[in-house]
Amino acid sequence: MSTSALISEVAAGNNALAVAGQSDLVWGHASLRDPRGRGAWMKAAGWGFEEVTPERVVLVAPDGGVLHGSGKRHIEYPIHLRVMAARPDVGSVVHTHAPSATAFASLNVPLRAISHDGVEFALPPVPRFTRTGSLIKNDELGTALADTIGDGPGCLIPQHGIVTVGPDLATSVMRAMLLDRACAQQLRAMAAGGPAVWSDDEELRLKQAEVWPPAQIKAGYEYLLRQRRQ
């Protein structure tokens, strides 16, 4: 993939998060691993997800230096660089302040798979990063976050937001959307006095094999990309 195509892909992934309802003014960021091993491509600081264009994408080195692009990098770049360092299989990282997931994280109750949305986060239970609810702005905290995620799809950060990961932007973005939707569904069920039923472990294993194969992830992501153009 050419550098221009890669930068355009990063811009599109950040735009998709806006369509998914993950915007928080100018905060939050999605990244893509640099194929040459130089760091991570991310949106520049100061822009909302819906405002990201190729000109507002920067390449951030593991030490925080900006290697490409004219914008400033986000202070929480260690989220991306330390998770990628710990997980060679991760090609993309998303950090947002997803409203429903952030509210749900404060309850300290397990996330149930009430619908398909929660399938990837209920078995094993999505972890919570509790080292701090403040900014993850250094390598130590970034590494601790990576340890919390382990080999899973992401984590909740009480008093802060979420992080999701994937081999590509489509997966990390879709996981961010699905995690927030799963939390929103459980919050609604709890407000109604439930939930009373949810997928058990046997059904979860079946759904993990059937519900979110790469083709379905791609289909959902492409929908988000189409919506950003309308």
- Can you give the CATH number for the domain in which 166 is found? 3.40.225.10
pLDDT digits (tens, 9 = 90+) for 104-138: 999 989 999 999 999 999 999 999 999 999 999 99
Q: Which residues contact 14 (CB under 8 A, 6 or more apart)?
A: 29, 30, 43, 49, 52
Residue 179 near residue 162 (C-beta atoms within 8 A): yes
- How many independent structural domains does the chain possess? 1
Share of the chain above pLDDT 70, in %: 100
- Average of pLDDT values for 216-226? 97
**Residue 1 pLDDT:** 82
- Check if the beta carbon of residue 129 is closer than 8 Å to that of residue 148: yes
- 153 has pLDDT over 90: yes
**Residue whose tokens read 């398909």:** 116
Domain residues for the domain of 198 are 3-228
Answer whether residue 204 shows pLDDT above 90: yes
Q: pTM for this structure?
A: 0.97
Residue 7's pLDDT is 98
| Helix axes of 139-149 and 77-86: crossing angle, nearest 10 degrees | 50
The 3-state DSSP class for residue 153 equals coil
Mean of the per-residue pLDDT values for the chain? 97
Q: d(Cα 185, Cα 181) in Å, to the nearest integer?
A: 6
- Tens digit of pLDDT for each residue in 154-200? 999 999 999 999 999 999 999 999 999 999 999 999 999 999 999 99
